[in-house]
Amino acid sequence: MRAVALGDQTTYDAGTLTVSSAEAAALVADPALAEVRVSWASPGDSTRIVKVLDAVEPRTKGPGGGGIFPGFVGPAMPQGRGTTHVLRGTAVVTAGFLPRAQEAVVDMSGPAAPLSPLGTTHNLVVEFAPAPGAAWEAVYEALRNGSLALAARLAEAALGATPDAVEELPGLPDAGDRSLPRVAAITNLQTQGTFKEIFVYGRSFGSIALPTLIDPGDLDDGAVVSGQLGHPSLKNPTWVFQNHPVVAALRARHGVDLLCAGVVLSPEPVDATNKELVSAHAARLCKAAGFDAVIVTKEGGGNADADMALKMDALEELGIPTVALYAEMAGADGTGPSIVVPPTKATAMVSTGNYDERLSLPAMERALGGDRVDVAAATALDAFELPAAVVYASLSPLGWGHLTCQEAS
């Protein structure tokens, strides 16, 4: 997308997306919402989005092909086949106060902009006022359903246009194909109940569900949707699940030096016994599936480190080399221990940066999502200092970002 605007009708023309505010608000409208407003925030703007809840990339399966976001927009059936139309460089972003949400900030310019996936996209920001007496759960559900419907609608606006780029994505390799190492992704999903859950085919993934194998193509079509409001920098927004960076990196090497062999979705139970069960089971599943190596990712803070450590160890015990993506929690000065729960048998870890290191954000001319940033005791327009932990998806557990940690010289 090269330019965006608001207008009377929702249209796409030669790299410009125009959105009808009235149509967008109507798509999100719900008895739990008293008011819905949309506005654009684009890269380079002097704009700060605060209280960011989720981001969705506009996609559709085409005319009459209601397969996108299965379980929400499309029917709850496996997807990942045929054509998916994508509005690259855009996102539908919900932002505003919800009681269980930790403050999450996106700057559209300045030093924090390149740290968040949303600092690089044209964002249609959906703000809202809850209906009097509406339950917060219903407000959150309305925003989720509405932003998915809106994202699908925006993509439909471009169906008549010639695509700027066409990518052919590899399907799963044949079961017997041993020509190259079969490498899979284990994607741990936060499963702590309402406000801290992830949806798969529209269903909340259970806290003690057993790990399950899915086709990576399902992710492209939005089978995994976020309902998770904790740990802003360590969140996996729907937008990042749709563009699963580990799957993308595996596909980039598919047929060259590895085979992208599948995705295992796994819960992150809250208690140790179930963490151990789920980890042991995930390792067995990977062994049975014939994976030669695995990359493990998480969602959440230190608690979620334990799930990765247990899986890494369980996989290494079965002889499957494993790499995990960890955010470091090394304190503001970077001298504390990096990882809350380290593995004991595995050692190969990628650092997505230090959660606690602080950065200075400049003053902005416009704020969306709210007026204040309480964690910085400041208005949303002020210049202030924050830990990286507050910058939305800046330490992306799924590996979107370019941050890492190095020892100071």
Partner 1 sequence: MTTRVVHYINQFFAGLGGEDTATVPPASKAGAAGPGRKLAQLLGDDFEIVATVWCGDDHAAGPEVMDDLLALVRAAGPDVVVTGPAFTSGRYGLACARVAAAAAAEGIAAVACMHPDNPGIDEAGTAPVVASGEVARQMGPSLETLAAAVRKVAAGEPLGADDGRVGKIPRRNVTVDRTSAERAVALVLARLGGDREATEVPLPRFDQVTPAQPVTDVTTALVALVTEGALVPDANPDSLESARATRWLRYSLDGRDVLPAGEFRSVHGGFSTVWANEDPHRIVPLDAARQLEAEGAIGKLHGEYLVTAGNGTSVGNARRFGVEWAADLRRQGVQAALLTAT
* Binding positions for partner 1, 226-245, rule CB under 8 A: 230-231, 245
- Which residue, 28 or 186, has its beta carbon nearer to partner 1? 186
Does 72 sit near partner 1 (CB under 8 A)?
Answer: no
Q: Which residues pair with 360 in a beta bridge?
A: 385
**Burial track 168-177 (b if 16+ CB lie within 10 A, e otherwise):** eeeebbeeee
Site for partner 1 in 13-52 (CB under 8 A): none
Among 74, 217, 227, 399, binds partner 1 (CB under 8 A): 399
Cα separation, 344 vs 309, in Å, equals 8
Residue closer to partner 1 by CB (options 156, 328) is 328
What is the nearest approach in angstroms of partner 1 to the Cβ of residue 27?
30
Largest Cα–Cα distance of the chain, in whole Å? Answer: 61
User: For the chain, what is the radius of gyration of the CA atoms?
Assistant: 21
For partner 1, the binding residue among 79, 116, 188, 192 (CB under 8 A) is: 192
Q: Which two tokens stand for residue 166?
A: 């066409």
Q: Which is nearer to partner 1, 128 or 355 (CB)?
A: 355
Q: What are phi and psi of 289, to 5 degrees?
A: -80, -5
φ, ψ of residue 179 in degrees (nearest 5): -65, -30
Q: How far is the CB of 161 from partner 1 (least distance, A)?
A: 29
Q: Based on the shown chain and the rule CB under 8 A, indicate whether residue 116 belongs to the binding site for partner 1.
A: no
Spell out where 160-223 has E strands.
182-190, 196-200, 203-204, 212-214
Q: Please give the residues from 252 up to 281 whose contact with partner 1 meets the rule CB under 8 A.
A: 252-253, 257-258
Total number of residues binding partner 1 (CB under 8 A)? Answer: 72
Written as six digits, the tokens of 36 are: 């819905």
Reduced to 3 states (helix: H, G, I; strand: E, B; else coil), residue 318 is coil
Q: Which of 42-50, 59-67, 80-88, 382-390 is the region at the interface with partner 1 (rule: CB under 8 A)?
A: 382-390
- C-alpha span between 50 and 33 (Å, rounded): 19
Which of 141, 215, 356, 382 contacts partner 1 by CB under 8 A? 356
Which residue from 129, 248, 289, 378 is in contact with partner 1, where contact means CB under 8 A? 248
104, 214, 295, 367: which one binds partner 1 (CB under 8 A): 295
Q: Interaction with partner 1 in 310-329: which residues (CB under 8 A)?
A: 321-323, 325-326, 328-329
d(C-alpha 127, C-alpha 186), whole Å: 34
